[in-house]
Amino acid sequence: MTFLTIEHLEKSFGPNRVVKDFNLSVEKGEFVSLLGPSGCGKTTVLRMVAGFEAPSAGRIAIDGADVVRLRPNQRNIGMVFQAYALFPNLTVAQNVGFGLKVKGTPRAEIAARVAEMLALIGLPDLGGRYPFQLSGGQQQRVALARALAPKPQVLLLDEPLSALDAKVRVSLRNEIRAIQRELGITTIFVTHDQEEALSMSDRVVVMHQGVADQVGTPFEIYNQPATRFVANFVGTLNILEAEVIDPSLGHVRLPGGQARLGRPLPTGRVTLAARPEMVKLGAEGRDTALQGRITEVDFLGSVIRIRADLGGAVLAFDTFNTSHARPPRVGETVQLGLNAADLLVLQD
Amino acid sequence: MKKLLAWAILLLGITYFILPLVGMTEFSLSMRRGVYSLDAYRAVLADPRFHQTFGYSVIMALLTIVFGVLLVVPTAFWVQLKMPHLRPVVEFVTLLPLVIPAIVIVFGYIRLYNTSSWLPLTGTTFGTNLLLMLGYATLSLPYMYRAVDTGLRTIDVATLTEAAQSLGAGWTTILARVILPNVLVAVLSGAFVTFAIVMGEFTMAALLNRPAFGPYLQLMGANKAYEPFALAVIAFVITWACMGLIQLVTRFSKHTKAAR
């Protein structure tokens, strides 16, 4: 059952249309990420759900009730900000209990809920500290506990991991997801980091120029990108311009060779794409072979990233490092294998 | 040579500021012929008018501070949050009391709020006191506004406000529990400056005929020899105590310490 519904949402700042006809339905307990580059409108959508921005048009409903006319403090929404936004004058416990105090919850109940929340985020002994006495990761955990304490209907996360260092980011994203699953709270997560979006979400909305380009599971977004933008933005991609030889059989001529896609294609030229992990050194066991000359070999430890010039296009691919197989040398001519089914046909 | 010149200029400056104070203090202690004594201070402190005017000015200063905080904090908060484009206009308005002399302001008040006007504030003692308090608030506006505005710039007002809103807080709660405590040091700085201004203000209190400390200082200066200097020293001590309190409050503010 749909819990959060966003219909035909629009937002303009003066002449700039920042969000254009945005639609999204989120199930109860679902974790949905809004993924996109800076300026794509993802934060604006989140802020409209929170009530900090008024939509120019459209409807936002939570549990069937239209909330567009409600003020932010009337929406029962929890929000975690990129900059933590903990109240510097309050201790950790007072921060976590702030929402409950505002609601007029009895003191004993606040204390119990604060203790529960601090235990949930793994900081049960830090209730008496001030925000300046905590690390970035701890501050963001407290911000999460503060947002969850009043039991909001929806949790909004506005790039909560962006200000943290890489190691803390990875551990905290796992913690956030575990807490979200444990509480079963409907969550919208805004990020520009594809790895975060893919690893944490039930579904991902890829946004581009104010429009939701694609909504799907992380698997669908990565393996079946609906547009050229999605394919380019999510993961690394090799773009290959191809000439269609037989549209009905999907027979194309690529730089370095030919491929039979086995599905109908438009006549003329098409843009194909291949993920680096789909390409293999040597054509053995693959139905498509392309010939190229090695131009770059980057040794990254467990993985070796190689670039090959196919004569008009560059194909990047990864191969695992094994101690008994030597990596190819720059200048060497090699055969690269891939399966035609793994080639994506991109649309604009 | 350059260093020597710098020291000479510093010494000249210190002499310029300190010498009159030393002279004034020395003279205030010279009431008894041939020896230093606190006779002038004793005489001042024994004068019932001193107690009356000092008490009156203290109460007026406290009321002015309360009014100033209630006026300036929400205004500066709103300007910063919702109307940053109006900041130059508001800053200009708050600077006007520095440009327009107090005597012009008070004549304007008297003309606007006299007994035959639409709001005859000068017709009653309470009304006149209210008018004087508003006048003091106007005079202290440049200092109070700047102090609060500077304090607000040191915190992320927009995000803290949004965080509080998302937790169910309304505007009053946000101002009272989130914004004000976080700019308290700045507000207190403004408050102490306001206190010092009110304690020494003469023009408005004299022209509105209220028993304030400023007119009492002037009265003593016109009629006595040593007591006015004792009073001036007391006034300086009050001002410096205010400055010292600003420093103390800043130092002992728990949550504004730098991150460890």
Place of tokens 């914004």: B179
CB-nearest to A132 from B163, B173, B257 is B257
CB-nearest to B173 from A78, A83, A102 is A102
- What value, to the nearest 5°, has the Cα angle with vertex A79 and ends A77 and A80? 165
User: So what's the pLDDT on residue A318?
Assistant: 87
Q: Which of chain B's residues have a Cβ under 8 Å away from the Cβ of A83?
A: 156, 159
Burial of B8 (0-12, 13-18, 19+ CB in 10 A): exposed
Q: Is A255 a residue whose pLDDT tops 80?
A: yes
Q: pLDDT, tens digit, for every residue of B66-109?
A: 999 999 999 999 999 999 999 999 999 999 999 999 999 999 99
Q: How far is B239 from chain A (nearest CA, A)?
A: 29
Q: How far is A195 from chain B (nearest CA, A)?
A: 26
To test the contact with chain B by mutation, choose from A48, A86, A87 the residue with the greatest count of B C-beta atoms within 10 A, namely: A87
**Which long-range CB contacts under 8 A does A259-264 form with residues at least 24 apart?**
A259/A287, A259/A288, A259/A340, A259/A343, A260/A287, A260/A288, A260/A340, A261/A340, A261/A341, A261/A343, A261/A345, A262/A340, A262/A341
Which residues, in sequence order, are CB contacts of A286 under 8 Å at separation 6+?
A280, A337, A338, A339
Place of tokens 């440049």: B142
Is residue B218 included in any domain, yes or no?
yes
Which residues, in sequence order, are CB contacts of B225 under 8 Å at separation 6+?
B31
Mean pLDDT computed over A3-19:
94
Name which of A98, A150, A110, A153 is nearest B164 in CA terms.
A98
Beta bridge partners of A154: A77, A186
Q: How far is A159 from chain B (nearest CA, A)?
A: 13
Q: Which of chain A's residues have a Cβ under 8 Å away from the Cβ of B162?
A: 50, 52, 72, 79, 81, 85
User: So what's the pLDDT on residue B255?
Assistant: 61
Is residue B87 included in any domain, yes or no?
yes
CB-nearest to A72 from B166, B177, B254 is B166
User: So what's the pLDDT on residue A284?
Assistant: 85
Q: Which of chain B's residues have a Cβ under 8 Å away from the Cβ of A96?
A: none
User: So what's the pLDDT on residue B253?
Assistant: 66
Query: Do the chains contact at A87 and B173, CB–CB below 8 Å?
Result: no
Name which of A341, A50, A59, A337 is nearest A187 in CA terms.
A50
Give the 3-state secondary structure of residue A299.
strand
Name which of A339, A28, A20 is nearest A185 in CA terms.
A28
The answer to whether A52 and A72 have CB atoms below 8 angstroms apart is yes
Mean confidence (pLDDT) of chain A: 91
The answer to whether A222 and A204 have CB atoms below 8 angstroms apart is no
Is residue B235 included in any domain, yes or no?
yes
Which residues, in sequence order, are CB contacts of B88 under 8 Å at separation 6+?
none
Quick one: tokens of B236?
Answer: 């300086």
Is residue B32 included in any domain, yes or no?
no
- Complex ipTM over 0.85: no
Residue type, A338: L
Q: How far is B175 from chain A (nearest CA, A)?
A: 12
Give yes or no for A12 touching B (CB within 8 A): no
Helix (H) or strand (E) holding A257: strand A257-260
CATH number at residue B194: 1.10.3720.10
Comparing alpha-carbon positions, the chain A residue that sits nearest to B184 is A89
Query: Do the chains contact at B169 and A102, CB–CB below 8 Å?
Result: yes
DSSP A282: B
Give the B-side interface with A, CB within 8 Å: 155-156, 159-160, 162-170, 173, 177-178, 181-182, 184, 254-260
Q: Is A32 a residue whose pLDDT tops 80?
A: yes
Is residue B74 included in any domain, yes or no?
yes
CB-nearest to B159 from A85, A146, A150 is A85
User: So what's the pLDDT on residue B258?
Assistant: 42
pLDDT band at residue B260 under the 50/70/90 scheme:
very low
Q: Which of chain B's residues have a Cβ under 8 Å away from the Cβ of A151?
A: none
Q: pLDDT, tens digit, for every residue of A295-341?
A: 999 988 888 889 999 987 899 998 888 888 788 889 999 999 998 88
Q: pLDDT, tens digit, for every residue of B131-170?
A: 999 999 999 999 999 999 999 999 999 999 999 999 999 9
String of DSSP letters for A121-141:
TT-TT-TTS-GGGS-HHHHHH
| Phi–psi pair at A233, nearest 5 degrees | -75, -35
pLDDT band at residue A50 under the 50/70/90 scheme:
very high
Give yes or no for A146 touching B (CB within 8 A): yes
Is residue B14 included in any domain, yes or no?
no
Query: Quick one: CA dihedral B25, B27, B29, B35, positive or negative?
Result: positive
- pTM as predicted: 0.82
Quick one: tokens of B163?
Answer: 């965080």
The answer to whether A271 and A241 have CB atoms below 8 angstroms apart is yes
Dihedral, A208, A212, A213, A216 alpha carbons, nearest 10: 130
Give yes or no for A126 touching B (CB within 8 A): no
Query: Do the chains contact at A99 and B178, CB–CB below 8 Å?
Result: no
Place of tokens 């040191």: B154
- Exposed e or buried b for every residue in A286-317, given b needs 16+ CB within 10 A? bebbbebbbeebeeeeeebebbbbbeebebbb
Domain count, chain B: 1
The answer to whether B98 and B120 have CB atoms below 8 angstroms apart is no
Q: How far is B169 from chain A (nearest CA, A)?
A: 6
CA–CA distance, A207 with A110 (Å, rounded to integer): 39
Is residue B76 included in any domain, yes or no?
yes
CA–CA distance, A131 with A87 (Å, rounded to integer): 8
Mean pLDDT computed over A2-19:
94
Comparing alpha-carbon positions, the chain A residue that sits nearest to B163 is A85
Query: Do the chains contact at A88 and B167, CB–CB below 8 Å?
Result: no
Range of the domain at B67: 43-259
Is residue B27 included in any domain, yes or no?
no
| Phi–psi pair at B241, nearest 5 degrees | -65, -40
Q: In what order do the strands lie in the sheet with A333-338?
A: A280-281, A333-338, A288-299, A303-309, A314-320
How many residues comprise chain B? 260
Mean pLDDT computed over A122-127:
92
